[in-house]
């Protein structure tokens, strides 16, 4: 169950940078801040649950890896962020690291 909590925490980790991006526009500022706070809170709580059984270093690396890779994809798909081979290669390295941490646990 701890790994499910951790994966969900990583997915919620994607939401708060999106909320902060939304908060850049005056018309969605309050909603963006509220979304960021909500996703931060849920992500943190799920990470806390996961760390009861998963070592802190592993949990934190997986959590941030999911958040970083997911946020990059959201940026490309919805915000026009650049998509290049180097960026996708970097995300592949992050994913490989997360998988290695899971296998080493």
Q: How far apart are CA 62 and CA 58, in angstroms?
A: 6
CA dihedral 73, 78, 80, 81 (to 10 degrees): -30
Of 62, 68, 25, 18, which is closest to residue 40 (Cα–Cα)? 18
Query: What integer pLDDT is reported at residue 76 of this predicted model?
Result: 97
Query: What integer pLDDT is reported at residue 98 of this predicted model?
Result: 86
> In the chain, which residues have pLDDT < 50?
none
Query: What integer pLDDT is reported at residue 60 of this predicted model?
Result: 94
Q: DSSP string spanning 20-42?
A: HHHTTSGGGHHHHHHHHHHHHHH
């Amino acid at each position: 169950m701890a790994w499910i909590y951790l994966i969900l925490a990583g997915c919620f980790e994607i939401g708060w940078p999106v909320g902060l991006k939304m908060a850049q526009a005056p018309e969605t500022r309050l909603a963006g801040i509220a979304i960021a706070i909500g996703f931060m809170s849920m992500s943190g709580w799920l990470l806390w649950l996961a760390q009861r059984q998963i070592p802190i270093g592993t949990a934190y690396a997986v959590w941030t890896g999911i958040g970083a890779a997911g946020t990059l994809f959201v940026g490309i798909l919805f915000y026009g962020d650049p998509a290049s081979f180097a960026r996708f290669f970097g995300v592949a390295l992050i994913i490989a690291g997360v998988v290695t941490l899971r296998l080493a646990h």
